[in-house]
């Protein structure tokens, strides 16, 4: 089975580097599936999850805060301000951050700007979605 190299990089560190048969992410205009020999592409990514399918069929889930997806003939690169593996997510901490962001958006708390609260809420939702998918995959 043919593969494409996949790199997922956050502002802090490289999160994933390996071979994939498919990389799925949410671009500005919808969901993108990147397979080997995909046409070159560059697009902005929405906050959400990125799913990497390995040659073994195993799927790895990541949550990103948004970013850029670049596809070249031999490599697909996800550049994100924040990225985390679903298996590394602390659910209690994420739920607390989500609740705080929702509170700020509802009551205009001066501790956080509306833009910061929206970004925090989007990342929290992405992390919870990735965590839910990870749990679902573990049950099967």
For 34-55, write each residue's pLDDT tens digit.
999 999 999 999 888 899 999 9
- Is the confidence at residue 136, as pLDDT, over 70? no
Domain count, the chain: 2
User: Do 67 and 19 sit in the same domain of this protein?
Assistant: yes
User: Do 61 and 35 sit in the same domain of this protein?
Assistant: yes
Who's near 10: CB < 8 A, 6+ residues apart? 64, 80, 81, 82, 83, 84
Q: What is the mean pLDDT of the chain?
A: 87
pTM: 0.75
User: Do 81 and 97 sit in the same domain of this protein?
Assistant: no
User: Do 38 and 73 sit in the same domain of this protein?
Assistant: yes
User: Do 35 and 68 sit in the same domain of this protein?
Assistant: yes
User: What is the per-residue pLDDT across 63-84, written as a single tens digit (0 to 9) for each?
Assistant: 888 899 999 999 999 999 888 8
Name the residue range of residue 26's domain: 4-85
Residue closest to 100 by CA, chosen among 129, 123, 130, 81: 123
75 vs 6: CA distance, rounded Å: 6
User: Do 74 and 42 sit in the same domain of this protein?
Assistant: yes
User: Do 10 and 75 sit in the same domain of this protein?
Assistant: yes
| Residue count (the chain) | 140
């Amino acid at each position: 089975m043919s593969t494409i190299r996949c790199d997922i990089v956050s502002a802090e560190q490289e999160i994933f580097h390996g071979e994939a048969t498919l990389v799925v992410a949410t671009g500005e205009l919808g969901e993108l599936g990147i397979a080997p020999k995909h046409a070159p592409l560059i697009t902005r990514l929405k906050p959400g999850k990125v799913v990497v399918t390995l040659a073994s069929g195993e799927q790895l889930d990541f949550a990103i805060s948004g970013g850029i997806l670049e596809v070249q003939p031999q490599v697909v690169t996800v550049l994100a301000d924040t990225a985390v593996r679903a298996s590394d997510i602390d659910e209690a901490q994420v739920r607390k951050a989500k609740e705080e962001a929702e509170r700020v958006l509802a009551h205009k708390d001066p501790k956080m700007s509306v833009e910061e609260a929206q970004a925090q809420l989007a990342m929290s939702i992405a992390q919870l979605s990735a965590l839910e998918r990870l749990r679902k995959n573990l049950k099967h």
